[in-house]
Amino acid sequence: MLLGIDVGGTYTDAVVVAEGKVIAQAKAPTTHDDLLAGILAALDRVLDGVDAAGLRRVALSTTIVTNAVVEGRLERVGLLLLPGPGMDISALVPERPRILSGYIDHRGRETAAPREAEVASACRDLDGCEVYAVAGKFAVRNPAHEQAVAGWLRRHARPAHITLGSAVAGSLNFWRRANSAYYNAAVWRHFGRFARAAQAAVAGRGVTAPVYILKADGGTMPLAAAGERPVEAVFTGPAASVLGIMALAAPRGEAVSLDIGGTTTDIALWRDGAPLFAERGAQIGDYPTAVRAFWLRSIGIGGDSFVRRENGRIIIGPEGRGPAMALGGPAPTVSDAMIVAGAAGFGDKDRAAEAMRLTAAGGETVQETARSVLAAAAEAIQAAIANMIDERASEPVYRVEDAVRDLRPQPAALIGVGGAAAGLAPLVAERLGIRCSVPEGAVVANAVGAAVARPTIEVTLRADTAQGYYTVAELGLRAALPSRRFTLANARELAARHLAERAAAAGIPVADVESVYDEEFNLVRGFSTTGKIIACQLQIKPGIFTAGEGV
């Protein structure tokens, strides 16, 4: 049995899944001041009648990191950057950085050395700072400078924690890594406190199963390992929903999914049964980061969206004014329209009709108004989907082969989950001319997603055979190549070994390894080939436990 808990804006949901089926579900109000209280209340309710000893894993999707960022509960971070020559990003990061000398170039070669004296002076300057983030340009090609700076920090300050940019992401993009490292350090203490409390509280209920936390990319990590990488637990709600869809509907081929909630609809596109990733990483506040996340679009339309008429046109959302009038709310909502149109069965039908009367244009029946409201909502969602498809189709490509190919997504199916999915998803699918499914259990999709999310982890290996070394950024590793005749196939094998190592260290089982990207270039100097640059990224594919699969 797998237990999943999703902390939502209003409710904290908990489910127990066995053999791919939801066997228990419960909810408790989300306690914003102390998330743990709501989590434990939901846990207690769902475990009522379930044998806790049979649980193999507890997985949490929590807003703890997102809230800390949104509410500005961020610890002061000593941010040290080694930008070398290039764009000045001093004003583009969340905290005033100390700029250090030292430069690693695109091949991972040192072209200028860092200086301990500068770090010592920064430490005096940052007196009282206990957490630090260090990011260097091209540190993913050679982490030596970041590591040296960390060493000097330990000598000249008393850091409780240091985040290295190259350890939070293995891919290029110094600005994003710097932002990621900053946020990781800034939420480190807050998250750690929560993680320890959660671990203790769960254990206190006689649950001996390990506790995992969901990541933005839909993977999970053991709570203990998450302590060093808390930034990856940002934006887990939408990730949980996407995994829930995977568990409940198993989309195949190209598809589009909708999570239609109270006031928002989250849209994801799928290819080959897997959701698409955001190309470069998640945006946190005003700052782009390297945190891997699904590519989602959120629009302000949901069951509780406020409906009115302005200059004869029906306007929906983006805000809500409370629940549906059918449920005692103050103003017409999309849910009221669904009730009148016969697409939802809850609440007071007369009040719903009253809501539509308030929205009706002259001479319209309430049924006609309800249909118009739902059509307008479906149209807005359809437009957002079209927008995403356009954006994906115009995603730049760097190879001729890809430039001449039509890469436009063509979803053939639509999956709807969330409270208002049954009323709206079929209308959107109809407009797109594709088939629709609203799977059973759709209202607790997020908690199901958390329950069944499979742990995932990635490694990025880059070899430079001319220089005879390779790096694995996420491990802070730079080592000699076993042979100068090193091929892409060798690189994949070596990367797979390091992936297994990294997974073992994090307590993650290795299953379903896939290649995220690879590239291979001949280095030609003076008209002869002097070596190769080979890069590959492997990951344990984000996904779900299927029936019978272990943790």
Partner 1 sequence: MAVKPFGLVFFPAFDWALTPTHPEREERLLYTRDQIVEEGLLDIPGIREYKPRLATLRDADRVHIGVPDIGSHITDAHLVSAGGAITAAEAVVKGEVARAFALVRPPGHHAMRVVHGTRGFCTINIEAVMVEYLRRHHGIRRVAIVDTDVHHGDGTQDIFYHDPDTLFISFHQDGRTLYPGSGFTDEAGSPPALGTTINLPLPPGTTDEGLHYVLDNLIIPVLEDFRPDLVINSAGQDNHYSDPLASMAITAQGYASLAAKLRADVAVLEGGYSIEDALPYVNTGIILAMAGLDYSRVVEPDIAAAPRGLSDGTRAYLRELVAKQGALWRERESLSSAAAAKAGDFWTRRRGIYYDDSGISEQQVERLRLCPHCRGYLAVATEAEGHRTGYQSAFAAVVPRESCPACRQGAKDAVLAAKRQGKYQHYYIQDKENDSLERV
The answer to whether residues 37 and 29 touch, using CB atoms and an 8 Å cutoff, is no
Query: Which residue, 510 or 533, is less far from partner 1 as judged by CB?
Result: 533
Binder among 144, 412, 434, 533 for partner 1 (CB under 8 A): 533
User: Which residues, in sequence order, are bridge partners of residue 105?
Assistant: none
Site for partner 1 contains 365 (CB under 8 A): no
Distance, C-alpha 332 to centroid of its chain: 33
| Smallest separation (angstroms) from partner 1 to the CB of 534 | 12
| Smallest separation (angstroms) from partner 1 to the CB of 401 | 6
Residue of 207, 202, 213 lying closest to 61 (CA atoms) = 213
What is the footprint of partner 1 within residues 469-528 (CB under 8 A)? 519, 521-524, 527-528
User: Which residues, in sequence order, are bridge partners of residue 133?
Assistant: 79, 163
> Which listed range, 182-190, 399-407, 445-453, 505-513, lies at the site for partner 1 (CB under 8 A)?
399-407
What is the footprint of partner 1 within residues 103-142 (CB under 8 A)? 103, 105-107, 111-112, 137-138
The site that binds partner 1 (CB under 8 A) totals a number of residues, namely 42
Q: Render the burial of 420-457: b for 16+ CB within 10 Å, e for the rest.
A: bbbbbbbbbbebbebebbbbebbbbbbbbbbbbbbbbb
Compute the C-alpha angle 128/130/134, nearest 5°.
Answer: 115
Distance, C-alpha 184 to centroid of its chain: 14
Q: Which amino acid is at 231?
A: V
| Smallest separation (angstroms) from partner 1 to the CB of 403 | 4
Instruction: Please report which residue ranges of 165-291 form alpha helices under DSSP H.
Output: 165-168, 174-204, 223-226, 236-249
Query: Which residue, 105 or 348, is less far from partner 1 as judged by CB?
Result: 105
| Smallest separation (angstroms) from partner 1 to the CB of 529 | 7
Binder among 253, 529, 546, 547 for partner 1 (CB under 8 A): 529
Q: Residues, the chain, total?
A: 551
Site for partner 1 contains 9 (CB under 8 A): no
Beta strands in 37-144 (DSSP E): 57-61, 77-82, 98-99, 103-104, 110-112, 131-136
Residues 147-186 vs partner 1: string with x where CB under 8 A? -------------------------xxxxx----------
Site for partner 1 contains 145 (CB under 8 A): no
Binder among 49, 310, 401, 485 for partner 1 (CB under 8 A): 401
Question: Quick one: which H or E segment has residue 502?
Answer: helix 488-506
Q: Are strands 513-525 and 287-288 parallel, antiparallel or unpaired?
A: unpaired
For residue 77, the SS3 value is strand
Site for partner 1 contains 270 (CB under 8 A): no
> Which listed range, 52-60, 98-106, 249-257, 435-443, lies at the site for partner 1 (CB under 8 A)?
98-106
| Smallest separation (angstroms) from partner 1 to the CB of 101 | 12
Site for partner 1 contains 88 (CB under 8 A): yes
Distance, C-alpha 308 to centroid of its chain: 34
Query: Which residue, 108 or 320, is less far from partner 1 as judged by CB?
Result: 108
Residues 272-311 vs partner 1: string with x where CB under 8 A? --------x-------x-----------------------
Beta strands in 265-325 (DSSP E): 265-271, 274-275, 283-284, 287-288, 296-299, 305-310, 313-320
Binder among 23, 70, 87, 489 for partner 1 (CB under 8 A): 87
Chain residues in the site for partner 1 (CB under 8 A): 83-89, 92, 103, 105-107, 111-112, 137-138, 172-176, 280, 288, 394-401, 403-404, 519, 521-524, 527-529, 533
